[in-house]
Structure 1
């Protein structure tokens, strides 16, 4: 991510169009905000639009505005988001979902720095920096006739590709720290630390939902935590199943050499893993662990394992 931050600093002040690509949940909106708030436009509005979240019949009016009487229920003049973002930044997310009928109008706005509100015969000059983002491959959409080639090249002057979280695991500790601080404030909590083993599990996990999934897991864990430290036991079962944790990694974090004490730690971890694997079924977990069910129930109580 250091390379991306370096790029942001270099391009932030230019009005050049930027396309941010990457899997869903990788933090493309955060990159767009970083560009805006590091630019000379930071004192002016940044407006976000999800091109796939607004019906096609309403999106044109949202973007370009309309005059009174332009269509049924248009009882007053309405400024579009281009005008609202004047002197600032307009972030068009999910660009691959923009209907073809609106792509030509967006192209004109980008080329001429002007828009035409619905129902108006006059154009309106705008000074807007456009940042777009997509999780789709726009080049393939162009080849299939689903996206205009001229618009693709117009928005694709500068490209920032945000790698998935599984390819930048070194970012996870900083992201976890950020989310803990965020939800301590938002939820009025006082989580002070993340146990090393818990953090290691997060580092091992592949995060198919990327940064968005990580944020959800941190928030969930903070809500469920009974102490001021996030521990492995409160992580979601699917994360525990996939993340694993080698004995070598666990021993690396143990702070004492007592075989008796550390054997109990390992036993607790194996019980937690077995319960996660069997989705809480204690009978099946006891078979995996090769101990009797009464023995497992006793150890669950002894080690205070969530089941």
Structure 2
């Protein structure tokens, strides 16, 4: 039996919820309860199996099953009812229920049905992960509740042809999530094109996005198809959308509203069919208040607004991510080649503990860089904490003496700086403002504590 699954128990009778919870917890599962179908809908993205009563106040169990099928089509639902007729059972299965139990049910039968449903959910999830990895060309790593919730949201929105705004700190993986939306959309046979709004001067942004005709300006010796035209039929990812100049924001808004662009030096607009996914680490509502971002463009982009969580909220994923990066860079640096004299590259327990302890203001990108650096300098064998973080010190056993006042103050200050940088999305000026110091002072402290990149 598969143990450790998270089960949603949805029933308006407390006594029934108690009985089901005790039966499943004693079998090694975790349980979250809901007193109504409406309350249960809020938990769907987090759970592996649903056990629901058929007859409840408000939304019925059958309507609940239909709604689950719309939101989480692969989530198994087991219905409980005192009305054990064959007609009700058939109706429940037609609605999409995984299985059906009549009250009073045997505890062993409940455990068995839930275990089979949990195993099916796991198999479906692994199949989706393999398909996603094949489409993306890289693994999609993460099983923490907050990351699974994000993937569930992505699964819902990918097939719906609307604009998406991805918000999150620098290094969280917003571009990967954009790719995931594209590969699971109906546009996945067309190109996905990326434009970094912060990487190009304002005077060139219009030409790059919308294209230009030959002779449109000095140096335009030939026509150029802009990024909107290149993405026609597919997806255009606008990275760092908060850095797009105001004058260009108006033209992007028109492209989204009218579905047309006008290249520089031309007199006629061109129709384009593009899905836009915008990414930002900035607070766009604050940018709107400051007059730096158009409110009408924000609402056009944020039809669906998804937040990519920082690594500090995905602590359960750190070891899996670290192992993925270890395998990637061990292969790249030829450290795991069969027949080599040294041992296969592995992490020590101390190294893994240190990885879990760090605040990771640079998020997944910082974690990858730390692993890549350690393996680039490795000859194989064990990777210890000191190999990952030189500030940890040598490999000698740590002293058992209590740290002195200076060391404790430094540790507190380092953690405070790291957390403030993380909450500010890596923006040094904003972090300095929150800490009440100058940006120069902040940079000095980042260098001192090994936080500068």
Match of 2:379 in 1: 226
The 2-side partners of 1:176 and 1:38 are apart by: 26
Match of 1:91 in 2: 237
Partner of 2:176: helix, strand, or coil? helix
* Runs of 5+ unmatched residues, structure 2: 1-146, 337-343, 408-453
Deviation at 1:192, TM superposition (A): 4.0
1:32 aligns with 2:178: yes
Match of 1:171 in 2: 317
The 1-side partners of 2:398 and 2:380 are apart by: 19
* CA gap 1:125/1:270 in 2 versus in 1, 3 angstroms: farther
Match of 1:204 in 2: 357
Partner of 2:397: helix, strand, or coil? helix
Indicate the RMSD between aligned Cα atoms, in angstroms: 2.1
Q: Which moved more, 1:32-41 or 1:150-159?
A: 32-41
Deviation at 1:79, TM superposition (A): 0.4
1:144 aligns with 2:297: no
Which structure carries more relative contact order (alpha carbon 8 Å, separation 6+)?
1
The 2-side partners of 1:185 and 1:92 are apart by: 32
| Cα deviations by residue, 1:41-92 (Å, 9 ceiling, x for unpaired) | 2222111111010011111111100001111101111100111111111111
Q: After the TM superposition, which parts of structure 1 deviate over 4 Å for at least 4 consecutive aligned residues?
A: none
Match of 2:62 in 1: none
Match of 1:64 in 2: 210
The 1-side partners of 2:225 and 2:218 are apart by: 17
The 1-side partners of 2:304 and 2:284 are apart by: 14
The 1-side partners of 2:351 and 2:311 are apart by: 17
Deviation at 1:184, TM superposition (A): 2.7
Partner of 1:66: helix, strand, or coil? coil
The 1-side partners of 2:332 and 2:254 are apart by: 42
The 2-side partners of 1:237 and 1:83 are apart by: 48
Deviation at 1:225, TM superposition (A): 2.1
The 2-side partners of 1:41 and 1:177 are apart by: 32
Deviation at 1:137, TM superposition (A): 0.5
Deviation at 1:30, TM superposition (A): 1.2
1:161 aligns with 2:290: no
1:237 aligns with 2:383: no
Match of 1:294 in 2: none
1:269 aligns with 2:422: no
* CA gap 1:184/1:138 in 2 versus in 1, 3 angstroms: same
The 2-side partners of 1:200 and 1:29 are apart by: 29
Match of 1:194 in 2: 347
Note if contact 2:333-2:375 (Cα within 8 Å) is conserved in structure 1: no
TM-score by length of 1: 0.77
Match of 1:75 in 2: 221
Partner of 1:268: helix, strand, or coil? coil
What is the aligned counterpart of 2:161 among 15, 28, 33? Answer: 15
Match of 2:265 in 1: 119
Partner of 2:398: helix, strand, or coil? helix
The 2-side partners of 1:181 and 1:43 are apart by: 30
The 1-side partners of 2:164 and 2:242 are apart by: 14
The 2-side partners of 1:39 and 1:180 are apart by: 31
Q: How many matched pairs?
A: 250
Partner of 1:151: helix, strand, or coil? helix
Note if contact 2:335-2:380 (Cα within 8 Å) is conserved in structure 1: no
* Runs of 5+ unmatched residues, structure 1: 242-264, 279-307
Residues 273-292 of structure 1: matches in 2 within 5 Å?
A: none
The 2-side partners of 1:56 and 1:202 are apart by: 40
The 1-side partners of 2:329 and 2:184 are apart by: 25
The 2-side partners of 1:211 and 1:91 are apart by: 20
Deviation at 1:206, TM superposition (A): 0.2
Note if contact 2:335-2:379 (Cα within 8 Å) is conserved in structure 1: no
The 1-side partners of 2:187 and 2:345 are apart by: 36
